[in-house]
Amino acid sequence: MQNTDSRPAVILASTSRYRQQLLHKLRLPFTVFAPNCDETPLAGEPPEELVTRLALSKARSVHTAKQNDKALIIGSDQCATLNGQIIGKPGTHERAIEQLKTASGHTVRFLTGLCLFDTRDQSWQRSVVVTDVVFRHLSDHEIDRYLRTEQPYDCAGSFKSEDHGITLFDRIQGDDPNALIGLPLIELYRMLRACGLSFASPTD
């Protein structure tokens, strides 16, 4: 379906409720469409290249499906690393315990890849926002109590920084606290403005 408005449509290439909640902060209308791309890492692919490649792939897959020639499509992908190794989503209580025990007293680096794909000229902007999370030394009791309270089994690193997970840390080092949740709004705002999107008022 073609967009007849002079302003390009904004499409979030993600069904993540966390990213949708973050994007609402910018107070601009957007629609959500599920991307369709293989998220398997390539052999020997560094984490930075993985998240930027997948962010672009997600955005382009939505363009292929919707065929909207006047849209700005937001793609984002995130991975967590500890000592250079990628940490996935735990999925189970037992794996979450293992992740937090391993992270205890260490720094977990989160890399959030962001892409804004402009279908009007097939151009894109990409970046990676890095956030370092320094964990306290956690007791087994603290880990088990936290996981049973919040059950963050769909979150890389086994925590939700926007909720009680913040109590697990000594500090967070990064340029945008939203990036840790999955969508770096400061960088996205810059990209949208570079594409000519006005933020003069919430209803613009």
∠ CA 108-112-115, nearest 5°, is 170
Catalytic residue among 5, 77, 121, 170: 77
Please indicate whether residue 140 is annotated as part of the active site.
no
Sign of the dihedral through C-alpha 54, 60, 63, 65: negative
167/50 Cα distance (integer angstroms): 29
| DSSP β-ladder status, 123-135 and 169-174 | antiparallel
Sign of the dihedral through C-alpha 75, 81, 87, 93: negative
User: So which residues are the catalytic ones?
Assistant: 77
